[in-house]
Amino acid sequence: MTSKIRIGALISGGGTNLQAIIDACEAGGIDARVVFVGTDNPGAKGLERARRHGIPTFVVDYAEIIRRCGQAPDALPLPADADIAAITTKQSLLGPTVPAEKKGRFVVSRVAAEARLLAEMAPYRPDLLVLAGFMRNLTPYFIDHFNIDPGFPRIMNIHPALLPAFPGVDGYGDTFRYGCKVGGCTVHFIDYGEDSGPIIGQRSFPIEEGDTLDTVKKKGLALEWLLYPQCIQWFAENRLQVVTITHTLDDGRVVQRRVVKVAQPE
Ligand code: GAR
């Protein structure tokens, strides 16, 4: 039995994954306690789930911050330690074809929001941050502040597709519309790209002829509620390690892949 870790959760919507995590913590399936639930969306229905379990909540209204940034980017309060140019270079959410001005506005608004998130989170001293249907990308500003040790990532995300297929905001929709015969969900650590971090766990399900987008989502969510608590428990048991494996291909090229190793239980 490990001691309980402190989990912070960020959500944007209904919070069924949050519920699965809270329930698993309360039932002893995860050796952890959810110490706060934060959101970018003041109307997030999942906040009510947190309140029902006596978990503190907070809102950082991203839409409002982005609107203010659009009106007067220079008036937005930015943290003193934010080097916007360096963060823009480091992030890989927006590619080289995106105009510099747009990239700059994106980074400024997100960093302003993320500084607020970090300030709200700090008093709760979370060991792990879980993104549970949090529909905002995090910049290197936030990631580097939270992942104090770069070799020990502490931000997890659940994505509704078998990554690296179908990153983005509509994983099940994209899977279904593509005509895939198999769908799934992925839990991964966050890195500087969109849904591109090292994969911790995946679950898959068949997509049959009679399936609709609705039934695909239902099948997927049911697996998410099992997969996310499982991956969090591995973290709580200190069994996860990210390793870089180097391969030399037949043509001499050297490629690297980042793999999450799950150690056997002690
Ligand atoms: C889940 O399907 C989750 O995988 C997805 O949002 C849904 C949230 O549901 N996350 C993303 O798409 C992240 N890019 P929930 O609020 O009921 O947990």
pLDDT tens, the chain, 266 aa long: 558 999 999 999 999 999 999 999 999 999 999 999 999 999 999 999 999 999 999 999 999 999 999 998 888 889 999 999 999 999 999 988 988 888 989 999 999 999 999 999 999 999 999 999 999 999 999 999 999 998 899 999 999 999 999 999 999 999 999 999 999 999 999 999 999 999 999 999 999 999 999 999 999 999 999 999 999 999 999 999 999 999 999 999 999 999 999 999 88
CATH superfamily of 5-239: Formyl transferase, N-terminal domain (3.40.50.170)
Residue 198: asked if its preceding bond is cis (omega within 30°), the reply is no
Which atom of ligand 1 lies closest to the CA of 18? 18
Which atom of ligand 1 lies closest to the CA of 159? 4
Say how many Å lie between the CA of residue 81 and the centre of ligand 1: 31
SS3 (DSSP) at 132: coil
Ligand 1 site-directed mutation target among 12, 135, 159, most atoms within 8 Å of CB: 159
**Using a CB cutoff of 8 Å and minimum separation of 24, what contacts does 120-127 make?**
120/36, 120/38, 120/58, 120/60, 121/8, 121/36, 121/38, 124/6, 124/8, 124/35, 124/36, 124/56, 125/6, 125/35, 126/6, 126/7, 126/8, 126/35, 126/36, 127/5, 127/6, 127/7, 127/154
Residue 101 is predicted with a pLDDT of 86
Which atom of ligand 1 lies closest to the CA of 19? 18
Question: Residue 244 is which amino acid?
Answer: T
Q: Give me the active site residues, please.
A: 159
Cα–Cα distance measured from residue 196 to residue 198, given in angstroms and rounded to the nearest whole number? 7
pTM: 0.96
What residues does ligand 1 touch, defined as CB less than 6 Å away?
11, 13-17, 46, 132-133, 135, 158-160, 169, 171, 185, 221, 224
- Domain ranges for the chain: 5-239
